[in-house]
Each structure stands twice: as C-alpha cells, then as structure tokens.
C-alpha cells in the first residue's frame, strides 16, 4: 500500500459537471474540474497541489514547445456497482512513465507522487466517472520541460500534471489496417518504447496517407527490412494463429503496453499457448491464405481490444474471419472489462481502489 501524502487542494468555485451531457460524451473534449500539479526545480519535485482545471501560461521560449521533451501516460478509472472508483494497474503506468522520462532526459517521478496525485485527483472528481456501461474516466498524466531557454539541452525545470475527463463507451468498429513499408514509427536505438510526444507527431502523416486510401490504421514494420510487424497504430498487435496467441516482443521500438501484458497473462492463466517473438508479414499472409489466422487485434487502453477486420499488404486486402467467431479476443475483452469494473474478483491484484 502506498503511504498517503499531504496534497493541498484548491477547489473549483463552481463545478462544470452540470454542463456535461453524460449520455453523449465525446472522447478527449471534456475535462473534469481539477488537475494535479508538481514542479521540478532542477533538484526535486515540490509544490504538489490540486487546482481547478485551467489554462497554462508560459513563455514562447519554453523548452517543450521547441524540442519536445514531453511524455505522457493514459489510463482509466471505472466505477463499480458499489459506486467505488477503481483504477486498472496504475503502478505499471508509473513505472513506464519513468522509463519514458529516462530516455527523454527528464526527471523520474516517484511512484508515491504519481499514485497519490492520481488517487487524490480521482477521489476529488469521482462524480465525473460516468457509470453507464462501457464508460470511464480517462486519466492523462504528463510531463513537460519548462525552462525558458531555446538552446538545445535538457531542460532543468519540469512540470508534472494529471488531468481527467469522462469518456463514452468505446464501441470499436473493426478496423482495416495497412502494412506500412515506406514510413517507420521507430528504429532500434530510437524512442519507440517511450510514450513521448514526438513519436505521435511522426506517425500522423503516414496515418493520414493510409486514411486517404481507406485504412483506419497502419501496421508498422521494422525500420531495417520492413519484414517484421511492430505495432498497430498506437496499439500493440496481437494475433491468434491456429490456437496460439502471438505478439512481437517489446523491444526498443515497441511500446510496452499494459493491455498487451495483461492479455498475455490471462491467456497463459487459461492454459492457452502464447508466443512472444518476431512475426514476419510473410508468416501472417501465409496464415491468412491457409485459413490459420483466426484473430487479429490491437491492444491498448482506449479500446482494450480493437478487432482487425482486414489487413492490406502490397496492395492486396486480406479479409479476416468474422468478429463474432473470434473466441479468444471476445473472451479476453469481457474478462478484462469484468476486472476493471469490479464485476469479477481481482485475483491478479490489478485494481487500485481509490477511496
């Protein structure tokens, strides 16, 4: 258990919660009343506080705006039937945040600060957690470089913040994806494993080109040969071939997704065969042609499981089996949801109760 620390709270004078149409929540556009802030002065984190959600003011010379020392996390809080707030594996997000920080030359945030900031914030804005089926409160921790200096060097000062916002049920329509062989998301030695802003900036243009061709997302391939699959858009890629669950290893180029890891754990618990290894595009296409590829999906916090309906490779669209027939991904989606919403016993110790 994490020791609690004193975090001073300045409450919003008036809640905005009545202005929100909870029947119709648009993703990423509505924010709760408060935000958590901590500042790093070059030596330590201090001035932990919760304030009303508000704009930031900063110098145009602020380092993050120019050189992109910026990292983030994404996780969700859920409401159970007893009206308690549950957060799924936030300790894993705290650990990953620090891996991202080290790579981007930014200071680590202690698990204490990360989890307590998150806990106090979610507790304070608990009423913002929607309770309709499939809805949740999205939690966005992030850190930016705040030196007012446009020389290229690591900033000395930083700000760590967390804000939240209600999100609607994620009815993910099965996606059509294209195997990308021209652009790369990440290369060995680069920043692919880090949840840092630039990775997403660099992925927008290739994703836009694919969208113009009618694809929802890309399957990134390795930067050296474009032979091996990496991730599906901003999700980890998982496949069921014959009766084996397959996914590439999280290396320097693949983000270590918490959904991916949780799915692997459940599959192993259920006695399913799992293989974490490099998977070539050729192997996938062969498996499709031999009717051995049963399921393909993206794994990530937003959708948990995003079924892949078709994979395009070298100009050919390969349609995958109907989503209703996908035994594993449907089962694991339900199992994870049951844990997250507190409907199933949390045998793995994955859920943090906030209050």
User: Using CB under 6 A as the criterion, which residues of the chain lie in contact with ligand PLP when the complex forms?
Assistant: 74, 195, 231, 234-236, 255, 257-260, 299-301
- 16/135 Cα distance (integer angstroms): 19
Residue 259 or 313 having the CB closest to ligand PLP:
259
Residue 165 or 300 having the CB closest to ligand PLP: 300
By beta-carbon proximity to ligand PLP, the closer residue of 34 and 96 is: 96
The tokens for 257 are 């997704």
Contact status, residue 267 vs residue 274, Cβ threshold 8 Å: yes
Q: What are the tokens at 73?
A: 């996390």
Cβ count within 10 A of residue 82? 7
Cβ 74 to ligand PLP shortest distance, Å: 6
Q: Which of 29, 105, 118, 133 is nearest to 76 (CA)?
A: 118
Least separation in angstroms between residue 258's CB and ligand PLP is 3
Q: How far is the CB of 286 from ligand PLP (least distance, A)?
A: 26
**By C-beta, is 107 or 300 nearer to ligand PLP?**
300
Question: Whose Cβ is closer to ligand PLP: residue 146's or residue 304's?
Answer: 304
Region of 271 (left: φ > 0; alpha: ψ -120 to 50; beta: rest) is: left
Q: How far apart are the first and last CA of the chain?
A: 13
Q: Give buried/exposed letters for 217-252 (b at 16+ CB in 10 A, else e).
A: bbbbbbbeebebbbbbbbbbbbbbbeeebbbbebee
Which one, 30 or 232, has the nearer CB to ligand PLP? 232
Alpha-carbon distances of 1 from 73, 111, 349, rounded to whole Å: 22, 11, 12
**Least CB distance to ligand PLP at residue 346 (A):** 18
CB of 252 to ligand PLP, least distance (A): 13
Kindly state the smallest distance separating residue 220's Cβ from ligand PLP, in Å. Answer: 9
- β-pairing, 217-221 with 175-179? parallel
330 dihedral zone (left: phi>0; alpha: psi -120 to 50; beta)? alpha
Closest approach, Cβ 18 to ligand PLP, in A, equals 31
Q: How many CB atoms lie within 10 A of CB 276?
A: 13
For ligand PLP, the closer of residues 25 and 235 by Cβ is: 235
Q: What is the DSSP letter of 323?
A: G
Q: Which residue, 86 or 124, is less far from ligand PLP as judged by CB?
A: 86
Please, what is the minimum distance in Å from the beta carbon of residue 349 to ligand PLP? 17
């Amino acid at each position: 258990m994490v020791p609690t620390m004193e975090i001073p709270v300045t409450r919003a004078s008036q809640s905005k919660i009545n202005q929100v149409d909870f029947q119709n929540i648009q993703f990423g556009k509505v924010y709760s009343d408060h935000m958590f802030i901590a500042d790093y002065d070059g030596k330590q984190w201090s001035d932990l506080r919760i304030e009303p959600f508000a704009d930031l003011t900063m110098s145009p010379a602020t380092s993050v705006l120019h050189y992109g020392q910026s990292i983030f996390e994404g996780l969700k809080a859920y409401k159970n039937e007893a009206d308690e707030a549950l957060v799924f594996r936030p300790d894993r997000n705290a650990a990953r945040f620090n891996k991202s920080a080290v790579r981007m030359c930014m200071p680590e945030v202690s698990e204490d600060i990360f989890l307590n900031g998150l806990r106090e914030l979610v507790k304070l804005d608990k009423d913002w957690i929607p309770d309709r089926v499939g809805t949740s409160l999205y939690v966005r921790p992030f850190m930016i470089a705040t030196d007012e200096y446009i020389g290229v060097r690591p900033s000395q000062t930083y700000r760590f913040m967390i804000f939240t916002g209600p999100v609607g049920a994620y009815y993910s329509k099965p996606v059509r994806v294209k195997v990308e062989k021209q652009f790369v998301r990440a290369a060995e030695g680069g920043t692919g494993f880090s949840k840092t802003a630039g990775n997403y900036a660099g992925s927008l243009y290739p994703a836009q080109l694919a969208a113009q061709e009618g694809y929802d997302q890309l399957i990134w391939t390795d930067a050296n040969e474009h032979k091996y699959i990496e991730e599906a858009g901003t999700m980890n890629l998982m496949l069921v071939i014959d009766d084996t669950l397959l996914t590439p290893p999280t290396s320097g180029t693949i983000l270590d997704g918490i959904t991916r890891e949780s799915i692997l754990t459940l599959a192993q618990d259920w006695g399913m065969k799992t293989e974490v290894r490099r998977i070539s595009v050729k192997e996938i296409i062969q498996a499709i042609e031999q009717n051995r590829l049963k399921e393909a999906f993206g794994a990530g916090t937003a959708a948990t499981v995003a079924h892949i309906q078709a994979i395009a490779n070298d100009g050919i669209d390969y349609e995958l089996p109907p989503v209703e027939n996908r035994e594993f991904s449907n089962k694991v989606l339900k199992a994870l949801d049951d844990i997250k919403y507190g409907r199933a016993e949390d045998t793995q110790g994955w859920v943090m109760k906030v209050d």
